Structure 1
Amino acid sequence: MASGKPIDEKVRSEIITKIRDEGMTVTEASNRYDVGKTAIYTWMRDGVVNSTSSLILENNRLKKENEQLYNLLGRATVELKKSKR
């Protein structure tokens, strides 16, 4: 099973992606990557890796910003149509 060696951040992200997005079980990931299940659960609980957490937060921020911009664009379009009448 696990050898106690540090796991590279890229490998951690890959493991979590396989579990979260591709349906791999923690047990399957543990066996495939020779990593302890406890370590995987800890990464999942702790937000996996700082860079992944940062990316998720940045993605959420950008989604909100896009929504605000679409709303502003919609209002500007309505105002423009009103002024042409």
Structure 2
Amino acid sequence: MPKGKPSVSKEVKEQIIKRIKEEGIPVAQAAQEHGLQPRTIYGWISRKVTSQPSILEVSRLRRENQALKELIGQITLEMSMAKKKADNG
């Protein structure tokens, strides 16, 4: 095995890909946590791609969904505060 190239078991690869897909962690973060290059993980993902939505797309959509939920919460709170102010004023 070439020196400096980490050996990663199939189980660890699947765990990393699962975290990216289900938890929405960025590939760069997963790579850094495991001492890997992001391109290595992108390679694993591209080999794992089937007719399902891309793991990266699912991850991106999860992050976007969370951001939108937070925005809705903020707007709801602001509207509630404005209504209370109008009712009291």
**TM-score using structure 2 length:** 0.49
- Please state how far the C-alpha of 1:18 moved relative to its aligned partner: 9.0
Match of 1:12 among 10, 17, 30: 17
Alignment length (residue pairs): 68
Q: How does 1:24-39 map to 2 (within 5 A)?
A: 25=32, 28=35, 30=36, 37-39=38-40
Identity %: 7
Asked if 1:55 corresponds to 2:55, the answer is: no
C-alpha RMSD of the superposition: 3.9
Change (3 A) 1:26 1:37: farther
Give 1:74's aligned residue.
81
Bigger radius of gyration among the two = 1
**TM-score using structure 1 length:** 0.51
- Name stretches of at least 5 consecutive residues in structure 2 with no aligned partner: 46-53
- Name stretches of at least 5 consecutive residues in structure 1 with no aligned partner: 31-35
